[in-house]
Structure 1
Amino acid sequence: MARNRLEVMTQVAARFGDAARLPLGPKTLYFFNSPEHAKHVLADNPANFHKGIGLVHARKALGDGLLTSEGELWKSQRRTMQPVFQAKRINLQLNAVADEAELLTARLRGHIGHGSVDVRKMMTELTLGVLGRTLLAADLSEFASMGDDFEAVQNQAMFEMMSLNAVPGWLPLPHQLRFRQARRSLEQVVARLRADRLDHPRAVGDDVVSRLIEATKEEPDRAVALTRMRDELVTLLLAGHETTASTLSWAFYLIDRHPEIRRRLHEEAVSVLGGGPLSLADMHSLTYTTRVIEEVMRLYPPVWILPRLAQEADEIGGYRVPAGADVLICPYTLHRHPGHWDRPDDFDPDRFEPGRSAGRARYAYIPFGAGPRFCVGNNLGMMEATIVLATVARDLRLTAVSGYRAQPEPMLTLRIRGGLPMTVHPAG
């Protein structure tokens, strides 16, 4: 599990089927891999399945944000955040996303004929910029180290997950020292965002920072209020930018390997985005681009595993699990289940055409999770990925450097290991 988590999950699914009990040191993991199992754990009986192995341990790194909290705290946080993510408000952010996509395309165009560029890094910068404009009403470009800080936080969270918090946090290990510095840096970002919003208030509910200030204003201890804001913002920024950045990185890599898909993507982008400001109708016309994004998230779901902890004994698909059981639902293996997907390892966006999707089990595809903890940012993530992919494909062609093969790295998200070096060419 420590060396190759995806390979373990893939082999377990292939060898033992849809349900398996896995010993892992002092723990036993209960692995379930069918749509019915996912439905039961995530949607039918979610109150019995709290966040489990890994995410509990990641709390030391991430705090009690929306990703790791439970119970009444989670419900309160969800109520605070939900209005900012309503579809009507997200649709109003269309031009901001389109502007960021055009700026990205211009930056990429500047690399034509000048060697390779790390596309994963550029996607990270893009998605942080989008989140700043759409959710925080803030320019995050001045915080130059933020991408590296989130890298350190994610590395620490994964370390805590795999070590089960067995390593004391005070040990001066290199990654723990980097994490401490990153936390201090991110705390300074949160303090500055809060101070700036207090100096320049907006309508309450218009952005995440305003809502968090309102939600914590009755807290008498300023340090506690800042900690809560830090946990929420760090979780929001990490989950929000990293998931979309990973999806776009995988998209550009896979498109380069499939020329016919790249051609169709380019033709649709030219037709729909040919001129004038982008409208909501234009975005809804990017049907093939949307299918490409959906297929990318099938093969490389940004949230590749959903760990849960059974509060009481339960039965999942006829299998008994005891109270305290660590239950794993793995979208990576579920999305490649040969019983629910034809040619599951092929990159085929047309499998999401309405005719081919008819009859597919509802929970065979869960890139945003399911049930009450369905990803609150799904609308913004899909809008952003679709617009960015179409805008770049309209003007440019990205090609992986000779001999490069992307390797998945299953961290909190399923990102490309070590970056994505690509060269930039005019489209056509």
Structure 2
Amino acid sequence: MSAVQTPPATRTGGAAAPPGPPLWAGPGLFRRLVTDRLALLSGAAARYGDAVRLTIGPKSIYLFNHPDHAKHVLADNHANYRKGIGLAEARRVLGDGLLTGHGEVWRRQRRAIQPLFQNKRLARQDAIVADEAGRLVARLRAHAGAGPVDVAGEMTALTLGVLGRTLLEADLGAHASIAHTFEGVQDQAMFEMVTLGAVPLWLPLPLHLRFRRARRELHRIVDALMAERAAHPTDGTDLLSLLIAGTGQDADPRAARERLRAELVTILLAGHETTASTLSWAFHLLDRHPDVRERLHAEAVSVLGDRPPAYEDLHRLTYTTMVLEEVMRLYPPVWALTRVAVESDEVGGYRVPAGADVLISPYTLHRHPAHWPEADRFRPERFAPDARADRARYAYIPFGAGPRFCVGSHLGMMEAVFVLAMVSRELRLTGLPGRRAVPEAMLSLRVRGGLPMTVSVLEGRDDEHL
């Protein structure tokens, strides 16, 4: 977009419409939307400022990139905004679950699962999370001196293990195809997003055929989980039991089953993908910043010794938490929050028409130079307790904001802190020479093509010390 001349803001209904590229730039913008979404948003914000209108075909996307804008859209006037571009189209793929739903159905679903994420319940599950982290450490140790291992894949296995045991009381390891299956679902979901749902699913495109196979396999897995729970009931307080009980009250059994499937698919995807992505980026950044890695190791040894972490250690592992917060600043697990304006609104002095697609991007907001000095540098010290006071509250929104704030954020943070501390205490993960870690903006901000790294055991951490 460097050759595009900035047009003046136009006036509509008494308020200015945001500036942005001219209409003839639409085909180029669409190519960037397909090939490099992060560059499209970063370039638009850098060239046009905190409010940008991107016109791509029949769509005008309003990108707002200021903390006050995020506060207004996501919190203060959230009732005027429902789920927007991409997620509306992804409903064809994911169904009508927590991620894509809205209105009273969404509120009822949210209320039903909220108790599962209360701190008291999480505190009772710390041993499960620590056990899964210990299994991860053991798997990685087995690769020491034996060539590279895909760390991103290992993080996915870890987070699926935690998700299954803490929320579903089920062994997701028994469903080995689940991670691969989600690849087909994600690819289709992103295709739906960038094409705005304009390509019929019945067309026999290779992508569509792969998705259909993935959807059938996911339905098989979900049905197996439901059948297993029916055969072996629990005390009824796990997520799977709560969802079954909630949908069992529906008048239409077939619709109830489809809603239950959609909820489980959404939970399985969102519940593991974001934390796995965050941990992958964390180990990549630690490899590039040995000073941070050494300080992280020292804190883990000092706080934990040779024991596994417990819930009470979360407030003691302060530097570990700072590192993760900085990782999520640079690589927020959810890189775009999309909304549609129900009625016309005014955001930051700019008019937003009814029906307009609105985008808040944590990726660009977290790199805003006015709020983050040396924004592209990895500096965990930004999140020291005494460094937070002067920062705008909505300059940092890795878990979203307002009523749709991520319900699983506390579980995800406990999981990430435990894993980062335990791995850093025992092992060193080193990236392959010459290989770059490239961000891929899918449903989460993951590392494109995986993250191969070699594993070495830290001196003094051999088996006799474990």
TM bucket (normalised to shorter chain) is over 0.9
- CA–CA distance in 2 between the matches of 1:352 and 1:220? 50
Residue 198 (structure 2) pairs with residue 198 (structure 1): no
State the SS of the aligned residue for 1:409: strand
> Does structure 2 conserve the Cα–Cα contact (< 8 Å) formed by 1:406 and 1:420?
yes
> Does structure 1 conserve the Cα–Cα contact (< 8 Å) formed by 2:371 and 2:391?
yes
Identity of aligned residues (%): 64
> Does structure 2 conserve the Cα–Cα contact (< 8 Å) formed by 1:191 and 1:226?
no
- CA–CA distance in 2 between the matches of 1:283 and 1:369? 22
- Which aligned runs of 4 or more in structure 1 are off by greater than 3 angstroms? none
Residue 291 (structure 2) pairs with residue 260 (structure 1): yes
Q: From 245, 256, 259, give the equivalent of 1:214.
A: 245
Q: CA RMSD in A?
A: 1.0
Residue 147 (structure 2) pairs with residue 115 (structure 1): yes
How far is the alpha carbon of 1:220 from its aligned partner?
A: 4.4
Hey, what does 2:14 align to over in structure 1?
A: none
How far is the alpha carbon of 1:375 from its aligned partner?
A: 0.3
Task: For 1:148, give the aligned amino acid.
Answer: H
Q: From 78, 82, 102, give the equivalent of 1:50.
A: 82
Q: From 160, 172, 189, give the equivalent of 1:128.
A: 160
How far is the alpha carbon of 1:70 from its aligned partner?
A: 0.7
Hey, what does 2:387 align to over in structure 1?
A: 356
- CA–CA distance in 1 between the matches of 2:206 and 2:257? 27
Hey, what does 1:156 align to over in structure 2?
A: 188
Q: From 223, 229, 237, give the equivalent of 2:268.
A: 237
Deviations 1:23-43 (A, max 9, x none): 111111111000000000000
How far is the alpha carbon of 1:223 from its aligned partner?
A: 2.6
Q: From 432, 447, 460, give the equivalent of 1:416.
A: 447
How far is the alpha carbon of 1:427 from its aligned partner?
A: 2.2
How far is the alpha carbon of 1:183 from its aligned partner?
A: 1.0
Hey, what does 1:102 align to over in structure 2?
A: 134
Residue 350 (structure 2) pairs with residue 315 (structure 1): no
Deviations 1:97-119 (A, max 9, x none): 00000000000000011110111
Q: Which is further off, 146-155 or 195-204?
A: 195-204
Task: For 2:143, give the aligned amino acid.
Answer: H
Deviations 1:372-412 (A, max 9, x none): 00000000010001101111000000000111110000011
Hey, what does 2:6 align to over in structure 1?
A: none
Hey, what does 2:215 align to over in structure 1?
A: 183
Hey, what does 2:60 align to over in structure 1?
A: 28
Q: From 71, 86, 94, give the equivalent of 2:103.
A: 71
Q: From 43, 49, 59, give the equivalent of 1:11.
A: 43
Give the structure-2-normalised TM-score.
0.90
Task: For 1:300, give the aligned amino acid.
Answer: Y
- CA–CA distance in 1 between the matches of 2:112 and 2:225? 17
How far is the alpha carbon of 1:22 from its aligned partner?
A: 1.1
Task: For 1:189, give the aligned amino acid.
Answer: I
Hey, what does 1:275 align to over in structure 2?
A: 306
Residue 419 (structure 2) pairs with residue 388 (structure 1): yes
How far is the alpha carbon of 1:275 from its aligned partner?
A: 3.0
- CA–CA distance in 1 between the matches of 2:164 and 2:432? 31
C-alpha spacing 1:35/1:113, structure 2 compared with 1 (3 Å): same
- CA–CA distance in 2 between the matches of 1:365 and 1:264? 24
Deviations 1:237-282 (A, max 9, x none): 1011000000000000000000000000111111122133432222
Hey, what does 1:302 align to over in structure 2?
A: 333
- CA–CA distance in 2 between the matches of 1:337 and 1:111? 39
- CA–CA distance in 2 between the matches of 1:191 and 1:222? 14
- CA–CA distance in 1 between the matches of 2:265 and 2:130? 25
How far is the alpha carbon of 1:58 from its aligned partner?
A: 0.6
- CA–CA distance in 2 between the matches of 1:43 and 1:5? 25
Q: Which is further off, 129-138 or 221-230?
A: 221-230
Hey, what does 2:24 align to over in structure 1?
A: none
State the SS of the aligned residue for 1:390: helix
Task: For 1:28, give the aligned amino acid.
Answer: S
- CA–CA distance in 2 between the matches of 1:178 and 1:81? 31
- CA–CA distance in 1 between the matches of 2:307 and 2:199? 56
Q: Number of paired residues?
A: 427
Task: Structure 1 unaligned segments of length 5 or more: list them.
Answer: none
Hey, what does 1:324 align to over in structure 2?
A: 355
Task: For 1:90, give the aligned amino acid.
Answer: L
- CA–CA distance in 2 between the matches of 1:249 and 1:278? 20
Deviations 1:94-151 (A, max 9, x none): 1100000000000000001111011111111110010000000000001010001111
